[in-house]
Amino acid sequence: MDVIKKGTTIQSLEVGMGIIESIAKQGKPLKFSEIQELTQITKSNLYKYLNTFTQLGILYRYKDTGEFVLGSKLIEYGMAAVDQENVIDRITPFLQEINEKFSSTVMFSSWTQSGPMIVKELNINRGINIGAQIGTLLPIRSASGKVFLAFMDEHNIREWKEKELLQIPPEKAGLLDDECKTIREKKIAFAREPLVPSVSSVSIPVLNYKKRLLGSVTVVGFSENIPQNEHNELSQYMIEISKEISASFGYQTQEQ
């Protein structure tokens, strides 16, 4: 998949965005002196930045107090970004890349009132029966189901969770709680032949800027081709591309 490679950047633009970010993080109107203290930019340069941003509508300056807040143009941009958060369209190039990497079926699942459902599927090997297709509701013991169990708010999945747990032995239900802790930490889930013999799966979460789960990306294939722990090279690839996909929706990892 084509990506924009890191290279030379425009320093003045980075400085300007740093000013905007500093104002946004404070969450309140700021005086010139407060912004100068936060950014440590010289007063003459800061004045030029603030004046430019104000004229562009990126910042708004109260006439009575002289304080600065985020402007209407930023709100307009933000609303446009929200409207364009078409998850399936945005993740499809990633699904295609994963499909080629694994030579196995790749699925995207999203939450419904009845549980996680497959809404997109890419499969270059039509000869394999994965036991699922678009519209299939996924069980809690599947790799995708485990991702939803680990990352969805408890009150949203309570009914589904209770119903699903009735279908598995109590001792396995207890193991799921421990597994979810690891899934939240590692951001990857595994399932050994949950639906069809000899067919296993690995799944990663797609998170947005609010750290809300948008869905899961799952690779399904013959067990010998699907990793079963995070130490596998393909697992590390999945973890990294999970970060990349989520970052496209504004999600930021702690190390960032």
What tens-digit pLDDT sequence spans the chain (256 residues)? Answer: 444 455 688 899 999 999 998 988 887 889 999 999 999 999 999 999 999 999 998 998 988 899 998 887 876 676 565 544 578 888 999 999 998 888 888 999 999 878 898 888 887 655 555 666 777 889 999 999 999 999 999 888 999 999 999 888 887 788 888 899 999 999 999 998 767 778 899 999 999 988 999 999 999 988 888 888 999 999 999 999 999 999 988 888 755 4
Sheet strand arrangement including 199-207: 115-122, 105-112, 213-222, 199-207, 189-191
pLDDT value at position 84? 46
Question: What superfamily does domain 87-247 belong to in CATH?
Answer: GAF domain (3.30.450.40)
What one-letter code names the amino acid at 78?
Answer: G
pLDDT value at position 256? 43
pLDDT value at position 53? 95
How many Å apart are CA 216 and CA 47, to the nearest integer? 46
Question: At the top level of CATH, which class does the domain 11-83 belong to?
Answer: mainly alpha
How many Å apart are CA 144 and CA 23, to the nearest integer? 39
Portions of the chain given CATH number 3.30.450.40 = 87-247
Q: Which residues contact 163 (CB under 8 A, 6 or more apart)?
A: none
Cβ(108)–Cβ(132) under 8 Å? no
Q: Which residues contact 142 (CB under 8 A, 6 or more apart)?
A: 191, 194, 195, 201, 203, 218
Portions of the chain given CATH number 1.10.10.10 = 11-83
From the CB of residue 102, how many other CB atoms can be counted at a distance below 10 Å?
21
Question: What is the torsional sign of CA 186, 148, 150, 171?
Answer: negative
pLDDT value at position 131? 60
pLDDT value at position 93? 93
Query: Of 67, 54, 62, which is closest to residue 26 (Cα–Cα)?
Result: 67
